[in-house]
């Protein structure tokens, strides 16, 4: 556990019976977690179900919580598993990584395709949301865990069950694909 992880302390206090600690914990993580699930699941109705299921598991496993890692790592691992369960139940075939990702990643190194100028130029958020849904499952998880949850590559690797290098590679592929999609959308406008 990182020194001074206030969230882990709050979780321990909640496990000891302090309801106020849970309120603080929930308030500090609910928006980011909601967006992570929303971007991952891509369905508003399912987002609510998965979000509640995630916090239910947090509440249910409060007694077994061990602050061996950051609280956020534990929370987003639960959220990631809930999303996987949702996909499994809904029978959705997640888009997998493909061979042309290397070409996309190479194009991402081109600094002329910066995301922000293109995104800010038009309906950037909607385009980004749409582009996220087009990402392969693993890349989207890596991107959202990195950007939304603020986790490190090692933590992302721990959550998704890969080593940090693979997590980094997935992140780069995701960013490159998003840049490309946003640039193409901006060009078509």
Partner 1 sequence: MTANEDKPVDREAWRRLLDGDGEGPPELTDARIRAQARRAIAPRTGRWWLPASLAASLLLAVLLVQWQYAGPGAPPAVVSEADVATSPAAHPVPGHQDESLMDAAPPQPAPPPPDAAPRRQDRYLADTPTTAITRQDAAQAERDGRFVAPAPPVVPPPAIDRPATVDTPAGNAVAADAAPAPAAERTKKEVSEVVVTGSRVRTSETKSSTPVTAVTPQDVAGRGAGIMGDLQESRETLRPPEEWYAEIEKLRAAGRKREARRELRKLEAAHPGWLEKNHPPDR
Residues 61-120 interacting with partner 1 (rule: CB under 8 A): 62, 115-116, 119
Q: Per CB under 8 A, which region of 69-77, 78-86, 88-96, 140-148 contacts partner 1?
A: 140-148
39 binds partner 1 (CB under 8 A): yes
Closest to partner 1 by CB, 9 vs 93, is 9
Name every residue whose Cβ is closer than 8 Å to that of residue 162 and which is 6 or more positions away in sequence.
170
How far is Cα 4 from Cα 105, in angstroms, rounded to an integer?
Answer: 37
Binding site for partner 1 (CB under 8 A): 14, 17-19, 22-23, 26, 30-31, 34-35, 38-39, 48, 51-52, 55-56, 59-60, 62, 115-116, 119, 124-125, 128, 143, 146-148, 150, 152-153, 164, 168, 171-172, 175
């Amino acid at each position: 556990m990182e020194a001074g992880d206030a969230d882990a302390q709050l979780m321990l206090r909640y496990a000891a019976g302090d309801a106020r600690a849970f309120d603080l914990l929930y308030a500090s993580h609910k928006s980011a977690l909601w967006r992570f699930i929303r971007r991952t699941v891509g369905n508003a109705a399912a987002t609510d179900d998965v979000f509640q299921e995630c916090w239910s598991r947090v509440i249910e496993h409060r007694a077994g919580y061990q602050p061996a890692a950051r609280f956020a790592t534990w929370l987003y691992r639960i959220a990631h598993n809930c999303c996987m369960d949702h996909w499994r139940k809904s029978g959705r075939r997640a888009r997998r990584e493909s061979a042309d990702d290397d070409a996309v990643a190479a194009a991402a190194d081109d600094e002329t395709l910066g995301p922000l100028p293109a995104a800010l130029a038009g309906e950037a958020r909607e385009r980004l949301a749409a582009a996220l849904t087009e990402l392969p499952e693993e890349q989207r998880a890596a991107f959202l865990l990195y950007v939304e949850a603020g986790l490190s590559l090692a933590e992302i690797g721990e959550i998704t069950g890969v080593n940090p290098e693979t997590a980094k590679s997935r992140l780069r592929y995701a960013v490159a694909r998003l840049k490309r999609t946003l640039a193409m959308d901006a060009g078509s406008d």
